[in-house]
Structure 1
Amino acid sequence: MSSLTRRRRRLTICAITVSAALVSLPASAAPGKNSTPFGARTLARLAAERTHSAGGITHQVKAADEDDGNEADEIAEGADQYAEARTSPGIVAPGAYGAAWNSLGKLPGTGGGWHHVTDLPYNSDDPRYRDFDSNSSGGAGNVTGRMAAMAADDDGYVYAGSAGGGVWRSHTGGGHWKPISDRLSSQSTGALALDGAGRLWLGTGEATTNADAYLGSGVYVLSHPHHGSFSMRSRVGGDELESTTVHELRFGAGKVWAATSEGVWSHSTKKLTGAWKLEFAPNPDYLPGGSKASDPSAAYKNIANDIAIDPKDPTKVVLAVGWRSGDDYNGFYTKTNGAWTRITSGLGDLPADADGVGNVTFARSADGSRYYAVDQSPEQLNTNPDSGLEGIFVSKSGSPTGPWTKIADYKGLAADGSALTTSGYMPGIQAWYNQFLTVDPSDPQHVYAGLEEVHETKDGGSTWSAVGPYWNFGFPCWSIDPAKQTGDCNQTTHPDQHGVAIGRYHGKSFVYVGNDGGVYRRPVDGAQDSSGHATDWTSLNDGTIDTLQYYSVGIGKDLAYGGVAVTGGLQDNGQSVLRGNDKVMGSNFGGDGGDTLTDPANGCNIAEEYVYLAVQITQNCAVNDGSWTSDPSRVTSYNVAPADSATSEARFIAPLAADMKNSSTWIAGGRHVWVQTHGYAIRSGSEWTSLHDLGVGRTATAVAASGGKVYVAWCGPCNNRGFARGIAVGNEDGTGWHDITLPVDGTVPNRYLSGFAVDPKNADHVYLAVNGFSRHWTEGPGAGVGHVFESKDGGTTWKDISANLPDVPANSAVVTQNGGLAVATDLGVVYRAPGRTTWQRVGRLPAVAVLQLKLSPDGGTLYAATHGRGIYTVKVRDCD
């Protein structure tokens, strides 16, 4: 695909299904107004050829599959698939991750400890990699992983809650971060809030209903947040909020209110023991223990998004409840005559019908004179290819019951300096995922609203400015050639906004925003240029905070600088490259980064997957020579995607592997099993050959090859409605392909098969990593038990070798040179030493998902790609 198509498609990095970890069903089961609850088709796949002039260079842009519509379908696909791996074939009961974490903690530990590799700044604008295939010069600067929530006080302390890497604290108004939640069993943040007493409240479980979000273990409070850290003893109440997501925490009348995926709950803020009280669940039969708890749609039936408490009368409370794709229960509720009742009139412009109320965020002014709300509409999501935003509203009475007046819609926001319009999108295209709202404490008419971009109004909504535009591409100031830039392009924030807070540092007020690229700040009343774009954003991702969400890792010798070059694919942060002498990591590819192949002999030979097997290769680490030309002989990377990429007959993050004995032979898996034998010298997708057709509706989930023998795992259907899985085996020359007959007795569970590890000494000796949870936690047919299996006859028969391994999803495995076996799980890494039958825990990582393991070129170091805390290494010899 062309580089500009990559830039357009990079908006699809977030995802749309309910929590992968897990609400226990795929997005396809969700109720909605249409059979596909995610609205219109993907805008990212622009159907028609377009021409785009960037700095005087004209590019032809043609989408990979000529498919029309909006981006939500592609986002839904990626989300669905991440969840499928952990949920199929059935419903996963609450508490599965908590039990796994407890079991993991009881395992004996290996020797040695983890070394943090990516604990340094990651510059998405690194000038070394400025190119049409990167996002360099987009203006986001230093980035890290997704931030779901923010809090700040007037003493210079800032708190950032990440999607999968825990909560971090800065005492310098941002920067010099320290993690403060590593002892918790969930590192997924849903909400952060400071109460009137200065205590910091943490609601675990990210509530953005996206692909790679994880459920939480409850709500915690830190009485003295300037010091100390969260612990399991600081949990509020009992286990009522385990295995939920928390969207917001609000305070009023001596209570803390929690909007969760299982309704609205409250608890005393004075006495922190005792159970949480369920205030309202619109469909209580679908809650755990209810008569319909096992229904496939249960996880969507009690979603609460926010709570608004009347500052003049805290007994008056309005609940915003509803699934973003639409359901009959969606709406605003208040208590009337002791019962929660949907508000059907009197709201003014704020919709009262179920079709108009989806994901909602409230914010009130400090003086109580104004209430604001941003509302995502299921009807817009399902019918409007341009935006899912209903609008931004104000209640000038200060009461959450209104009446409300609309002060912004997507068309008005698009006209106020939005950068999305230069890329074919409109504000609010992902309003179900991107939302924040806050009011300047010193000015009730000064409001910050976060969607894909950061918007600001200083006059109560009469006028708006896109102070944090999506990027600088497409602006008159931008050119691929730095010499042709006007100098007016300022740093902006990373796209996709989630959290916001206002605090003070050294007597000055700042607004802090959290998004898919980390944390940024600017003065609350900062400066703007003539287009309304802020000129004073600062990235606070200084390298001391690493919440990068890797899908993959690759390692090769750095021939230029010594040591090794480390690279990896990331959620919404492209491909990172860390050279042997680097003090700052760079990004040489934009968008999502999927699977990665790196030449062990030369770390600048890299194959990087975007999504759906959209593979590009570089043989110089994609370092641009400064020519700023479209001359094909001087490009830094090449599109070499096999044909399944064009038809999307591959997984969102599709498997890619090199033969262990011949690094020039690659295997890629979609519906077909593909092979190419040109290594990093490949220049075209036509150089791939189909070895085997897995069949209609089937797609590869894992591939491995050694000495000409190929293993492929597949699923199809891949969700919990009719889930099926299997293994195909054959040779790289196209001979001998056949499906393995897996026993129906559960010897190999009917769950997602996520990885192979082939014995380097014997290609018929292979290990299999199995995702999901065992039948103890899932009611799905054939769920079986076990997570690691061994075959000594080329996959014909298998033996469960899980032994004392906790019941936790396994993602990948690798055989070490001495015959040991390391397995990556959703909660860390385990290791079975040579000659042993039991497992040990490797080091003491927080409760973070490790999605891939690779060995260094010399085999002596194990690299772990975590989805929330960057890349870590451990010496293999220390594990034995």
Structure 2
Amino acid sequence: MAATSRRSRKRTAAVLITTAALGLTITQAQAAGRGVDPFGVRAQHHKARLNEQQPGRVSLATEGDDEGGNEGEEIAEQADQYAEARTSPGIVAPGAYGAAYAALKNLPHTDGRWRDVTRLPYDSDDPRYRDINSNSSGGAGRVSGRVTGLAADNKGDVYAGSANGGVFRSRTGGGHWTPISDRLPALSTGDLQLDGRGRLWYATGEANTSATSFLGTGVYVLADPRHGEFGRRDRVGGDELESTSIHALRFGGDKVWAATTSGVWSHSTRTLKGPWKQEFAPNPDYLPGGSKASDPNAPYKNIANDIAIDPKDPSKVVLAVGWRSGDTYNGFYTKGSHGWERVTGLGDLPSDSDNVGNVTFAHSADGSRYYAIDQSPEQMNTNPDSGLEGIFVSKSGSPTGPWTKIAGYEQLRDSGSALTYDGYQPGVQAWYNQFLTVDPKNPDHVYAGLEEVFETKDGGRSWTVPGPYWNFGFKCWSIDPAKQSGDCPSTVHADQHAVTTGSFHGKPYVIVGDDGGAFRRPLNGSANAEGHATDWTSLNDGTMDVLQYYSVGVGTDGRGVAVTGGLQDNGQSVLRPGDRVMGSNFGGDGGDTITDPRNGCNIAEEYVYLAVSVTQNCAVNDGSWVTDPSKATSYSVAPPDSATGEARFIAPLNADIKDSDTWVAGGRHVWINTKGWAIRSGSEWTGAFDLGAGHTATAVASSGGRVYAAWCGPCNNQGFTRGIAVGNADGTGWHQLTLPADGTVPNRYLSGLAIDPADADHVLLAVNGFSRKWTEGPGAGYGHLFETRDGGVTWKDVSGNLPDVPANAVALLKDGTVVLGTDLGVLVRTPGSAGWKVAGENLPTTAVLQLRTGPDGLLYAATHGRGIWAVDPRRLR
């Protein structure tokens, strides 16, 4: 396994965002020494395959590897950190999100229209980018952001719900997508289902317990999904399911059931009016209004994962409930004479709390089979390779069994899994990756999704892997750009979340949704001798731009403007002048970005934990580094805090606004690079200041050598603290600011800094989380934007009429206009204005994590769910 920063799991109370996401990388093989690869899987087997092809070459897989790693721990850590920013120092009361959206709707809009810069295909296998740090040639092809809900009919209509970008419709069996939910207050998808009347049910609030899983505002129904669009009046019931995540909707009789993070609910399907009924909550005291609602563990005490309804008798219902890391209430429940009771004696399917975690059910159309995937908390907490308990079948067709185990992770591993080459096993992320569906015409034909797509046609006696994790490691693979990915067939992106079956012109198909978008193949498709499908089609044609950006960088190259940005599990995208398709020149999670405004191919890209790489040619490479490492076109320049684990998962990285060759990186220390893009080693960073043991930077900014660094530590609910240090890039004059004890600057996550280029003592500070009205924690305070004009000695709350919504980034334009990126879009305030306005008319209501002004004068917004957008700031009046 390649080196990784080993992290401990924490359990952070998370309400707006639940807990943990993926960021997987291919090769952080560092040609100059120590390998930094916080996932390890992609690096290890890609490197091993290259070494196998090049006998006698030094093994980059082992060179400098000095630590072990566990991907599940990395994911959980990322989860906690993203949640911390919005919840610490306490927990957030229900209703905060809805109140923020209502306040936002009452604000006026400015003029100006945004342009979706990244609404075009994104090729993860772009043959131009075969550099050592790229995933290119892995086989996924064209990708988009995470798809977490899918539904299809037999007319070619397909509906795809994205992690935080809403629902899209296709009338051609996938592709040529149109958004149909942009008028809703929540664009986070938990589930999509078509009922027997052809209505489309949209459950908001992604329930993958991932770092970027936003809560929702309930369930909506669209009566005519072929032609209509969702509106706020389409909500089912009242606000009972607001501020929850919904894992699954299931239908039985005249009821719809919802498995949520606040227990199990039901509603009539005959009428959409009236409140939802709480069917079961294992720990009701922890629900809002309960005696233990303020307990830090409250968000984990009533999680329901799925509902199995007997198709032959809708009154027989089995609930799968439980927190993925384990709790005493975990298990299966059914209704008995004394109410809901724990079910035991299910056969091979465990019923004890240690081995029931995240569960997915599916039954055959004829009612003869019920299937289940079960993730085991015990496996997750003790087995570094897999958290999967197994896949099971009830041949009686009843959800009460008896159940028989038809696959464990070992059997799936030996069925053609790409993870065989990596030391991990299928199900290493079974708490995050799950789907299950049965062929409507064959009860023994099943598709199961974990990290990869698995298939059985004989009821589980044998399995194949039509959608392997990637093609690295297989004998058919080649890095040669002329061969794309060698002789291997295309595969899907890793990390499966949703599945549906449908047909178009009488041809049945299956569509899967994963961290890379949506992919389709014939329901009974073809495969090669290894069982890998030869007929996947990417449905990510660019019209469904649900890419999840953490950052954006903009530069010129003499022909126009180049735009790049770091993405959740989709590396770094590069869009150069004249491109009709974006390429990917770095793999894994793309974190923060610095791009040279004078040359868009000078890029510094963070993977995670400050694992920074730099290129001066956009990382264009023909793969020649395989035989000659000196021909690598990107270089590891990770600051030392990356090796010690003293940096946040997505750590701050920025350039001085007056000198783009001076960079600031923040971990425990504030690191300075004055060589710009000529840097070639992590040892070339200079430590300017130690923020203190247990402290990690959350935002950095620099102007003319004056540097500000915001930090937190501890960063979770227990003992949360924050601060700001200021000093000079040359290491002089550093000191910690004394933030006022009166709460003028809240004790919450400090997420963004903007320095006035005309006066380095004039700084704006963006604060994340919700204010004291909603946050039950010490020092939560009020407000989201603060200003100092004396270098941080005194601060003033300048939030004004800003909605109480988490703020992620702030920018100060040349004319004095303030632009704020929030979890609900972009807000602006012009000099002398009486209040805030929503920026433009057409930006989707999704999280904006970074704002940059490009050398073309346009303002760019990196959204975490709907791509990168740009607007002329002169129009924001």
Aligned residue runs from structure 1 range 179-328, under 5 A: 179-328=179-328
1:135-150 mapped onto 2 (5 Å cutoff): 135-150=135-150
**8 A contact 1:17–1:83 mirrored in 2:** no
The more displaced of 481-490 and 259-268 is 481-490
Once residues 714 and 861 of structure 1 are traced to their aligned partners in structure 2, the CA distance between those partners, rounded to angstroms, is: 30
1:479 aligns with 2:478: yes
| Matched residue, 2:735 | 738
Report the AA paired with residue 169 of structure 1: R
Superposition pairs of residues 42-191 of structure 1, within 5 angstroms: 44=39, 52-54=48-50, 56-57=53-54, 58=57, 59-62=59-62, 66-191=66-191
**Which residue in 2 is equivalent to 1:666?**
663
1:623-638 alignment runs, 5 A limit: 623-625=620-622, 627-638=624-635
Given residue 497 of structure 1, which amino acid in structure 2 is its aligned partner? Q
Aligned partner letter, 2:226: H
CA distance in 2, matches of 1:188, 1:64: 41
- Deviation sequence 1:313-348 (CA, Å, 0-9, x none): 111100011111110011011111151100122x11
Does the C-alpha gap of structure 1 residues 17 and 437 become closer, same or farther in structure 2, counting only changes over 3 Å?
Answer: farther
Q: Distance in 1 between matches of 2:791 and 2:628?
A: 47
In structure 2, which of residues 649, 654, 674 is the aligned counterpart of residue 652 of structure 1?
A: 649
Are the structure 2 counterparts of residues 43 and 743 from structure 1 closer, same or farther at C-alpha, using a change threshold of 3 Å?
closer
Residue 847 of structure 2 aligns with which residue?
849
| Deviation (angstroms), 1:71 | 1.2
SS in 2 for 1:663: coil
8 Å CA contact 1:606–1:619 kept in 2: the answer is yes
CA distance change for structure 1 residues 464 and 155 in 2, over 3 Å: closer, same or farther?
same
CA distance, structure 1, for counterparts of residue 680 and residue 433 of structure 2: 37
Deviation at 1:779, TM superposition (A): 1.2
Superposition deviation, residue 632 in structure 1? 3.9
Task: Note the C-alpha offset of 1:834.
Answer: 2.3
Q: Go from structure 1 to structure 2 and tell me whether the alpha carbon gap of 1:832 and 1:220 turns closer, same or farther (over 3 Å shift).
A: same
How many angstroms apart in 2 are the aligned matches of 1:521 and 1:48? Answer: 27
The 8 Å contact of residues 18 and 209 in structure 2, kept in 1 or not, is answered as no
Which sits farther off after the overlay, 623-632 or 357-366? 623-632
The offset of 1:389, in angstroms, is 0.2
Deviation at 1:24, TM superposition (A): 7.4
TM-score by length of 2: 0.95
Task: Give the letter for the 2:707 counterpart.
Answer: V
Structure-1 separation of matches of 2:380 and 2:444: 29
2-structure distance, mates of 1:656, 1:112: 30
Asked if 2 retains the 8 angstrom alpha-carbon contact of 1:698 and 1:716, the reply is yes
Indicate conservation of the 8 Å contact 2:715/2:721, yes or no: yes
The one-letter code sitting in structure 1 at the alignment partner of 2:16 is: L
Query: Which residue type is aligned with residue 168 of structure 1?
Result: F
Q: Describe how 1:581-620 pairs up with structure 2 within 5 A.
A: 581-620=578-617
1:757 counterpart = 2:754: yes
Change in CA separation of 1:24 and 1:324 when aligned onto 2, cut-off 3 Å: closer
Partner of 1:681: 678
Which residue matches 2:16?
A: 22
1:102 positional shift: 1.1
The equivalent position to 1:809 in structure 2, one of 798, 806, 810, is 806
Residue in 2 aligned with 1:434?
A: 433
1:32 is aligned to: none
Does the C-alpha gap of structure 1 residues 387 and 751 become closer, same or farther in structure 2, counting only changes over 3 Å? same
Q: Deviations over 1:791-843 (max 9, x none)?
A: 11111111111001111111111111212111101101111112335211101
* Distance 1:758-1:428 versus aligned 2 partners, 3 A rule: same
Task: Provide the secondary structure at the position in 2 that maps to 1:594.
Answer: coil
Q: Call closer, same or farther: CA 1:753–1:394 in 2, change over 3 Å.
A: same
Structure 2: distance between partners of 1:70 and 1:137: 25
**Structure 1 CA distance for aligned equivalents of residues 160 and 565 of structure 2:** 24
Q: Distance in 2 between matches of 1:499 and 1:202?
A: 14
Q: Are residues 332 and 63 of structure 1, via their aligned partners in 2, closer, same or farther at CA, if it must alter by over 3 Å?
A: farther
Deviation at 1:47, TM superposition (A): 15
Question: How many angstroms apart in 2 are the aligned matches of 1:392 and 1:24?
Answer: 26
Does the 8 A contact of 1:25 with 1:296 survive in 2? no
Equivalent of residue 822 in structure 1, options 816, 819, 831? 819
Residue 721 (structure 1) aligned with residue 741 (structure 2): no
* Post-superposition CA distance 1:739-769 (Å, at most 9, x none): 0000110110000000101111111111000
Return the offset for 1:421. 1.4
Q: Report what 2:501 is aligned to.
A: 502
Give me the whole-angstrom Cα distance separating, in 2, the residues matched to 1:611 and 1:311.
46
Task: Report the secondary structure of 1:873's partner residue.
Answer: strand
Distance 1:328 1:64 in 2: 42
Q: Write out per-residue CA displacement over residues 541-567 of structure 1, whole angstroms, 9 at most, x where no aligned residue.
A: 0011000000000000023xx110000
CA 1:485 to 1:511, structure 2 compared with 1: closer, same or farther past 3 Å?
closer
> 1: distance between equivalents of 2:835 and 2:769?
21
The alpha-carbon deviation at position 648 of structure 1 amounts to 1.1
Aligned pair in 2 of structure 1 residues 829, 19: CA closer, same or farther (>3 Å)? farther
Bigger shift: 640-649 or 838-847?
838-847
Closer/same/farther in 2, CA of residues 485 and 81 from structure 1, 3 Å limit: closer
Counterpart residue identity of residue 162, structure 2: S
Query: After the TM superposition, which residues 272-421 of structure 1 pair with which residues of structure 2 at under 5 Å, given as runs?
Result: 272-337=272-337, 339-345=339-345, 347-421=346-420
User: 1:7-44: CA deviations, max 9, x gaps?
Assistant: x99xx99x9978966267999xxxxxxxxxxxxxx993
Instruction: Tell me if structure 2 keeps the 8 A contact 1:17–1:211.
Output: no
The answer to whether 1:791 aligns with 2:785 is: no
Task: Provide the rounded CA distance (Å) in 2 between the counterparts of 1:843 and 1:795.
Answer: 32
Consecutive unaligned residues in structure 2, runs of 5 or more: 22-36
2: distance between equivalents of 1:216 and 1:20?
Answer: 13
* Identical-residue share of aligned pairs (%): 70
Structure 1 runs of 4+ with >6 Å offset: 15-19, 24-27, 46-51, 483-486
* SS across alignment from 1:354: coil
Equivalent-residue separation in structure 2 for 1:224 and 1:46 (angstroms) = 44
In structure 2, which of residues 684, 689, 694 is the aligned counterpart of residue 692 of structure 1?
A: 689
TM-score using structure 1 length? 0.95
CA RMSD of superposed structures (Å): 2.1
Asked whether the equivalents of residues 20 and 78 of structure 2 are also in contact (C-alpha less than 8 Å), the reply is: no
Structure 1 gap segments, 5+ residues each: 28-41
- Residues 618 and 49 of structure 1: is their aligned pair in 2 closer, same or farther, counting only changes over 3 Å? closer
Say whether the 8 Å CA contact 1:16–1:210 is kept in structure 2: no
Output the CA distance in 2 between the equivalents of 1:146 and 1:486. 23
Partner of 1:99, secondary structure, is helix
The answer to whether the 8 A contact 1:757-1:815 is kept is yes
- Partners of 1:96 and 1:64 in 2: how far apart? 47
What is the deviation of 1:424?
A: 2.2
Deviates more, 1:531-540 or 1:415-424: 415-424
- Please tell me whether the aligned partners of residues 17 and 209 of structure 1 are also in contact (alpha carbons under 8 angstroms): no
Match for 2:826: what amino acid?
V
Counterpart amino acid of 1:848?
T
Classify the secondary structure of the residue corresponding to 2:60.
strand
Distance in structure 1 (CA, Å) of the matches to 2:623 and 2:365: 51
1:434 touches 1:496 (CA, 8 Å); kept in 2?
Answer: yes
Deviation of residue 631 (structure 1)?
Answer: 2.5
Q: Give the Cα separation in 2 of the matches to 1:231 and 1:439.
A: 32
Counterpart of 1:34 in structure 2 is none
CA contact (8 A) 2:14 2:91 kept: no
Residue identity in the other structure for 2:367: G
Distance 1:637 1:26, change over 3 A: closer
Q: Which residue of 1 aligns with 2:698?
A: 701
Residue among 560, 563, 566 paired with 2:560: 563
The question of 1:580 aligning with 2:577 is answered: yes
Q: Matched residues in 2 for 1:118 and 1:20: separation?
A: 31
